[in-house]
Amino acid sequence: MISTANFRSGLACLLLACVLAAADAHAQGEAEGKALSLADVVREARANRAEILAARSRAEALAQRPAIVGALEDPMLTPSIDHYPFEMMEEEGGARYDWSIAIEQRFPLSGVRGQRRRAAQAEADRASADADRTVLDVVLEAQEAFFMLRERRRMALVLEQQQELTRELVAAAAARYAGGTGGQADILRAEVDLARVEAALRSLDAQIKAAEAMLNVSVGRPASGAVGELSYALPDRDLLATETLQESALASRPELRAGRAEIERAVAEIDVMRSMYRPMAMVRAGRAFTMAEGAGAMLMVGVSVPIWRGRLRSGVAEARAMERMANADLLAMQRMIEGEIAASRAEVESTSETRRALESQVIPRARMSVEAALSTYSAGQNSLVAVIDAARALWEAQSDLVMAETAVSQAWARLERATGGTSSAETLP
């Protein structure tokens, strides 16, 4: 039989498990119901994309190179038979051959080890900058996928409004036909437009699924996963001056850090090649035994003789050419970044102005035109063609506004990428 204490203990454990399960389900439901914001997309992309992991792993691997290339060569243990006579000695207890065992170590007589460490450290710094560049590229790709999905979903809302308005046109045409003030051609014309809108909605549904798959992939999720509601508001902040943005970009762009690291590596390689003009020392010490004199010690010291000066001069010249190339690449990159900043800022201004004009001027007038045309047509004082023309002007304006909002968002994202930062994108709602 089960004791009362055991029963109470089991009941308490069961109640605790139920409470925890309910709490987990509630938390999961809240997480599923939460709208996906741009900041969430950025965080997921930074945390989940394999490209970032690969770039950072490469940087971690190259960070170990300075310790590897700056170390001395491994010592060499060399046991040897120095002299083995063909006619063996017959003395009892005497050695039949000369032998030795020694340890050999090579030492550079220059600072080549330190120069190699400098070159390897510069290569590691460049890999770290490349990893930061990969992060920026991945974040921009995820943001653009987010904006594309948002545009297509908003375009679906526009098409649904078009569908409702077109149905009103069909009903108005049918009413005029029933009242004897309209023709059957008007009904057919309105039904054609309705069929066109419904076909566009079906096509857009497939495009939305494709955009959802691209967004999932861009943040490191499975492509077939569901994407909930999107939460986003257009950036509402002041646009800094071009000079300020350029200064920020020149200070923070990882491509420039990689270029400067490449210059440092080239300078270190020049010093490495110059160090080759100095010899390498070799020290060998150990124990030896000869048939004639018995046991003893041995010591050998040697230096290399760098006599092939043509090869050494060519190595230095090659390193100098690589330094000039690295400097030229950095200068060209700076000019390109300055131009990219100016172009990105101008794009933000242009797209923002287009969006404001559509939102404040074009769409209100187009909506008033449709209302006026529809009311006069319903009263029998206008043609269906005029109503359809007014409706299409409204639809085009609404579609242009959706695309203009996407263009503004993308322009801001590209400007953030051009300046080398994503902090403002992560704080957007």
Residues 35, 229: contact at Cβ < 8 Å? yes
**How many Cα atoms occupy the beta-carbon half-sphere of 157 within 13 Å?**
8
Q: Is the pLDDT of residue 87 over 50?
A: yes
pLDDT at 2 over 50: no
Each residue of 404-422: pLDDT tens digit? 999 999 999 999 999 987 4
pLDDT-derived band of residue 423, with 50, 70 and 90 as boundaries?
Answer: very low
What are the tens digits of pLDDT across the range 26-50? Answer: 434 344 457 899 999 999 999 999 9
- Collapse the DSSP code of 302 into the 3-class scheme (helix H, G, I; strand E, B; otherwise coil) and give the result: strand
Q: How far apart are CA 185 and CA 175, in angstroms?
A: 13
pLDDT band, residue 121 (cuts 50/70/90): very high
**200-210 confidence digits (pLDDT tens):** 899 999 999 99
- Determine which of 86-95, 260-269, 324-333, 397-406 has the lowest per-residue pLDDT on average: 86-95
Gap between the Cα atoms of 373 and 359, Å rounded: 21
Query: Are 252 and 419 within 8 A, CB to CB?
Result: yes
Question: Structural domains in the chain?
Answer: 42-81+96-426 (1.20.1600.10)
Is the CB of residue 188 less than 8 Å from the CB of residue 177?
no
Q: How many CB atoms lie within 10 A of CB 233?
A: 10
Q: Read off the pTM.
A: 0.79
3-state secondary structure of 10: helix
Q: Residue 398 CB: number of other CB atoms within 10 A? A: 22
Whether the predicted pLDDT of 333 surpasses 70: yes
Write down the pLDDT at residue 406: 94
**Burial class of 15 by CB neighbour count within 10 A (0 to 12, 13 to 18, 19+):** exposed
Average confidence score pLDDT of the chain: 84
Structure tokens belonging to residue 17? 């498990």
CA–CA distances in Å: residue 41 to residues 27, 215, 412: 20, 9, 16
> Who has greater pLDDT, 37 or 166?
37
| b/e map 169-208, b = 16+ CB within 10 Å | bbebbbebeeeeebeeebbebbbebbeebeebeeebeebb
The confidence band for 188, taking pLDDT boundaries of 50, 70 and 90, is confident
**What is the percentage of the chain residues whose pLDDT exceeds 70?**
88
What residues form DSSP beta bridges with 231?
37
- How confident is the model over 115-139, as a mean pLDDT? 94
Give me the pLDDT at residue 90, please: 53
Q: How confident is the model over 96-105, as a mean pLDDT? A: 88
Tokens of 169: 């046109």
Residue 21 in this model has a pLDDT that exceeds 80: no
